[in-house]
Chain A
């Protein structure tokens, strides 16, 4: 079995935004069992069936120019410590699944060329780079719903190679008819609300807006990202290998790196049935007795940014002393270790945070107090 990436780094500062607000507000809402997901027309202004979505309050799915998500990005970016990001020793890793692709849909729908300035990954990131005053040392990564994890891995490796003093990982994903229409066409976004890891007849997911950042350093920060593991099944573009080999290949190295630690697990847990079962079984196998939670039944799946958004929420929950449960789900579950309710986390050494993506992509990392 391959080993996890042995490049521990500290999280020196971090923040996020979800439909509930910042990390503190989001954690409080999750601890209270609240659900941000609400029924919205799948095609935004063009209507369609109501599906569970959690956009930022007041934001329309159909893009404006400049994009309607810009105020949320500006607000979060204002919290990033000003350190000359994008310079040779302060690299930035921007990760997303969607970038500004909703603007391409808006262009297709309206013909208004001003939308195109935000439509491609490079154009969108370069627009933000200039807006935030960053230099050009900005790497762009897009690997669907494990995108943010890749940014964390590369930032960690870059710091350990001595190529950077500090690194910024920044991730954002916003809903649009482009993405809601796609998941609707795949039939996994439907009228049902997600119930991660619950045994039921039909699976369903919800989708949400999400954005986050983390400043990583080698020796400064309250929390440590101690190990990372990656695996890509390449079995099918949207389905997992039915034996669960991909989950084992990713979680096994993290379990080895975490030997002897008492952990809880924040899983991917979107609400699809087969992937949920495979993940819950693998978690129970590699981390016996560890409580398993997912927060996507409340926040929706924040796509390429989920790994970073949920890392920031995990940090907030460790500070708070309570881990939110699997909001939106109820027993029976695929395994007995799924935690529907919030629990005190003071007796745990840390958490494993996992995400999955198209192509059978898996990513997981180990988080604990420094």
Chain B
């Protein structure tokens, strides 16, 4: 069984807050002017990752099913004169990159996961196999507009970050991943986020062969 402890967990659940509201609320968390071109998800991840104090030696594992939905929608709307800024912002790992670029934080290893019902299990597997002393597991979604109406975007906006390590002393919780022979299993990102946000325990077959357990101390 793979196991990592966490001393820090941060969540953002802004409800129906629009990007402009997030920008106003979080602008002091970034260098002056940096939020001007940041997506809502980028700002929220900046908020939760900032509390974890990322360093260059950390591994960052990022989980998001839809990632930069608003930038994607806006980029598509910019045709026939596509926007270069929205193009680069629309790529899947952009939210974490916006944060790290704004703060000039190089990182050795960065694993951006997409996916659906097995996303949490696979991102956790990546986090627990990282050889670095500490791994920052983060993720989130931003509420879509026209893609949401079509069922291809998140209905919720949220973000989280958990700093995982092998240090048990003083930990507030433990995440474990057990290899099983189960042929099925699912644990989508909103449910995992909800457990972190509400400090609820979790034990679930989360993907074929993988059971996830979240314990609070």
Closest A residue to B105 by CB, please name it.
Answer: A234
- CB-contacts of A168-224 with B (<8 A): 177-178, 181-187
The answer to whether B116 and A234 touch across the interface, beta carbons within 8 angstroms, is no
**A252 CA to B101 CA in the complex, in Å?**
23
**A105 CA to B83 CA in the complex, in Å?**
14
**A109 CA to B82 CA in the complex, in Å?**
13
The answer to whether A121 and B92 touch across the interface, beta carbons within 8 angstroms, is yes
Known A154-B126, A182-B87, A234-B100; 20 more pairs at CB < 8 Å: A108-B77, A120-B152, A121-B65, A121-B115, A135-B208, A137-B207, A138-B118, A139-B122, A154-B125, A158-B125, A163-B129, A185-B87, A230-B108, A230-B109, A232-B100, A233-B106, A234-B101, A236-B101, A249-B106, A358-B88
CB distance from B152 to the nearest CB of A (A): 5
- Secondary structure class of chain A's binding surface, majority of residues: mixed
* 5 residue pairs bridging A and B, Cβ less than 8 Å apart: A108-B79, A137-B210, A138-B115, A187-B84, A232-B100
Any A CB within 8 A of the CB of B160: no
Stretch of B4-12, B20-28, B181-189 with 4 or more beta carbons under 8 angstroms from chain A? B181-189
State which of B75, B83, B93 has its C-beta within 8 Å of the C-beta of A143: B93
Any B CB within 8 A of the CB of A225: no
Instruction: Give chain B residues whose Cβ lies under 8 Å from the Cβ of A101.
Output: 72
The answer to whether B110 and A235 touch across the interface, beta carbons within 8 angstroms, is no
Q: How many chain A residues have a CB neighbour from B under 8 Å?
A: 67
CB distance from B85 to the nearest CB of A (A): 9
Closest B residue to A6 by CB, please name it.
Answer: B131
Chain B, interface size: which category?
35 or more
Any A CB within 8 A of the CB of B193: no
Instruction: Give chain B residues whose Cβ lies under 8 Å from the Cβ of A232.
Output: 97, 100, 106-110
The answer to whether B117 and A185 touch across the interface, beta carbons within 8 angstroms, is no
The answer to whether B87 and A140 touch across the interface, beta carbons within 8 angstroms, is no
Closest B residue to A250 by CB, please name it.
Answer: B108
Any A CB within 8 A of the CB of B76: yes
Any A CB within 8 A of the CB of B114: yes
Instruction: Give chain A residues whose Cβ lies under 8 Å from the Cβ of B111.
Output: 141, 143, 150, 154
Instruction: Give chain A residues whose Cβ lies under 8 Å from the Cβ of B109.
Output: 230, 232
Any A CB within 8 A of the CB of B15: no
Any A CB within 8 A of the CB of B113: yes
- CB-contacts of A67-106 with B (<8 A): 86-89, 91, 97, 99, 101, 104-105
**A126 CA to B115 CA in the complex, in Å?**
9
B-contact bits for A115-127, CB 8 A (1 contact / 0 none): 0100111110110
**A140 CA to B117 CA in the complex, in Å?**
11
Any A CB within 8 A of the CB of B91: yes
With A126-B116, A235-B101 as contacts: A144 and B65 at CB distance below 8 Å? no
